[in-house]
Chains A and B, each alone.
Chain A
Amino acid sequence: MTFRFKGNPPSRRQFLTGAAAIGAGAVAATTARAAGDPLITEPQYWAQGLGEGVDATPYGLPIEYESDVVRRNVDWLTADTISSINFTPIHALDGTITPQGCAFERHHSGAIELTKEDYRLMINGLVDTPLVFTYGDLERFPRENHVYFCECAANTGMEWAGAQLNGAQFTHGMIHNMEYTGVPLRTLLEEAGYQTTGKWVYVEGADASGNGRSIPMDKALDDVLVAFKANGEALRMEHGYPVRLVVPGWEGNMWVKWLRRIEVADAPVESREETSKYTDTLANGISRKWTWEMDAKSVVTSPSPQSPITHGPGPLVITGLAWSGRGAIKRVDVSKDGGKTWETARLAKPGERMALSRFYLDTEWDGTEMLLQSRAMDETGYVQPTKAQLREVRGLNSIYHNNCIQTWWVKPDGEAENVEVS
């Protein structure tokens, strides 16, 4: 994926067109009328007639009025839509679990269709017995369940050089958070009898890109999961059906989909996806490699450019997501004045390791402009940096691992915009 800073010919944003209509309805509902609200005083068809039968929808989709809560792509980011990215609508979601149907996709040679019958997983290399597993074999190993975030290394990567895309979906939506069911990689490595000379595993997918990556054995034996269920059901095709790797806290590229082979090796392969890509160039031209962990990060999802304030001054819920590949989120601070002053927000529940946390700041909005920011802290004491602090160390060309503090400029009309501040 190649990110460019300038895109196609400009087109006008219309975020507020729909929002204004919603706002008008809200005003009507809260305004006292002499005749009473007809939605209350007059019988409505849904209170008189019949709804759909239980046989209408064997597997349902969201109601049509939620049709804006969908994955979006940005066509100028990549050369084509096959080796490309799309974005989770985090601006419209709440809680922490990402619905699979709108959870972002990143492929290098498209989303392939691989049946359970055709599925094979090989373990070879420095093992006592190279093995082949069928899908059915994998379901016979003892299982675990864990919730983890999967964040693309390039999430927010288009924002290194400045404020570019106008919406949390586009700036921070290369992420999803699911409850995975699977077998610890350690269990499969033990089944094959991994040898002590094996310091690395090389993992690759069944798709044409292969997406091969080298993972140090310590991580492979620690918490890596060979997963076949997500959020209770089979993986979606686009998320690696029937089997993917789950690599808690580490960059999404390593979460190899359609996993077909695990090679135990005494050295890393230095594959394309860990040399040409997923290496981070510093200002002096030297590049970091093996930047596996995703650092502590957060974003206000509402208000945000795609989720403006439509209700006017008064009580306002500021909410967002925080996460860290180093461990659990301990605290999130929110600023309304661009970082001059900070208030500590409320976590919906205690942070879980390598999983999304939801935060809320229940506040009173006086109708004046705000420069909204959020700042995550994890259990290691790491504090999410500003973009200026990151640029000081890394320059502008890292592409990946942009975990900077995001600023939304909320204007008196409730509209919000992606900005950078001094």
Chain B
Amino acid sequence: MSKYHNIVPISLFVTLTFVSPLQAGKLGLGRPALPDEVAAWDLDVRPDGTGLPDGSGDVLTGEEIFADNCAVCHGDFAEGVDNWPKLAGGMGTLDRDDPLKTVGSYWPYLSTTWDYVNRSMPFGNAQSLTPDEVYGVVAYILYSNDLVDEDFVLSRDTFTEVHLPNADGFIVDDRKSAEAHFVTDPCMQNCKDKVEITMRARVLDVTPDTGD
């Protein structure tokens, strides 16, 4: 509530009513979480590998698991089917007109791949893969991106050997400086000499019908 700016205080009374509820110390609500409960839900894996479980998987085993569980949407070679995400390819396309963003071309950290596959894939049957299977699938995705050889075995130990190509491809939000010029006193009159229509949605015509 401290950040609430009362723009037009109608009266002192109104201002005084805008205060947060007082709270003195803890209320004693909730109960301690048990270790098994935390272990069941706290699955996230950090870029440094923190959170990875024991286990391992190699490329060829991963290929079989991928074929059975993933390829129907993501393709036999992780190249994507129809409109489903492509997991491999697109190297060097990020500064082009139509960049292809994949684990290989775009993702900064391998931890994210492990974490996301483990928690949320396969789509519609999440959390059905064992840690060894996840290691294998991730090893196969790396192989599909030409980042490891086919004899590569991914485990908690070998995890830190892998560096994804676009690890340095990200900067922290810099809008406050890079777009500081949007804080300005805007033009009101005679702001430009002429105005021409340069593009029309009607010509593209991809909006769903909304009438009738």
CB pair A328 B207 closer than 8 Å:
no
B20 within 8 A of A: yes
A275/B169 contact (C-beta < 8 A), A131-B32, A267-B46, A409-B197 known: no
Q: Identify the 10 closest CB pairs spanning chains A and B, nearest first.
A: A285-B95, A338-B195, A285-B94, A142-B21, A7-B206, A14-B211, A418-B201, A208-B126, A130-B33, A79-B83
B10: nearest chain-A partner, CB-CB: A350
Taking CB atoms, residues of chain B closer than 8 Å to A289 are 170-173
- Contact partner of B8 (CB less than 8 A), chosen from A131, A350, A409, is A350
CA distance A245 to B15 in the complex (A): 27
A130/B38 contact (C-beta < 8 A), A13-B202, A421-B197 known: yes
CA distance A17 to B184 in the complex (A): 43
Tell me the chain A residues, 297-311 only, with Cβ under 8 Å from chain B.
305-306
CB pair A143 B191 closer than 8 Å:
no
Taking CB atoms, residues of chain A closer than 8 Å to B124 are 82, 109, 208
B108: nearest chain-A partner, CB-CB: A275
CB pair A144 B1 closer than 8 Å:
yes
A residues at B contact (CB < 8 Å): 2, 4, 6-8, 10-18, 68, 72-76, 78-79, 82-83, 108-109, 122-125, 129-134, 137, 140-144, 162-167, 169-170, 184, 187, 190-193, 202, 204, 208-210, 212, 222-223, 260-261, 263, 267, 269-272, 275-276, 279, 281, 283-293, 295, 305-306, 327-328, 333, 337-342, 350-353, 371, 375, 377, 379-385, 389, 393, 396-397, 409, 417-422
CA distance A222 to B1 in the complex (A): 8
Of the listed stretches B23-31, B59-67, B147-155, name the one at the interface; the rest are far from the partner chain: B23-31
State how many residues of chain B have any CB contact under 8 Å with chain A. 87
A287/B182 contact (C-beta < 8 A), A269-B115, A337-B195, A419-B199 known: no
B50: nearest chain-A partner, CB-CB: A267
Known A275-B170, A340-B190; further 5 A-B contacts with Cβ < 8 A: A108-B120, A170-B207, A170-B208, A287-B94, A383-B182
B135 within 8 A of A: no
Taking CB atoms, residues of chain A closer than 8 Å to B170 are 275, 279, 286-289
A270/B169 contact (C-beta < 8 A), A10-B206, A143-B21, A163-B199 known: no
B8: nearest chain-A partner, CB-CB: A350
Tell me the chain B residues, 178-212 only, with Cβ under 8 Å from chain A.
178-179, 182-184, 186-192, 194-202, 204-212
- Contact partner of B199 (CB less than 8 A), chosen from A8, A137, A162, is A162
Within the complex, the shortest CB–CB distance from A74 to chain B, in Å, comes to 6
A285/B169 contact (C-beta < 8 A), A79-B82, A79-B84, A144-B1 known: yes
B13 within 8 A of A: no
A375/B186 contact (C-beta < 8 A), A109-B126, A163-B199, A166-B202 known: yes
CB pair A166 B201 closer than 8 Å:
yes
Within the complex, the shortest CB–CB distance from A41 to chain B, in Å, comes to 32
CA distance A351 to B201 in the complex (A): 32
CA distance A286 to B85 in the complex (A): 21
CA distance A222 to B126 in the complex (A): 34
- Contact partner of B106 (CB less than 8 A), chosen from A164, A260, A276, is A276
CA distance A377 to B183 in the complex (A): 9
Taking CB atoms, residues of chain A closer than 8 Å to B23 are 142, 187, 190
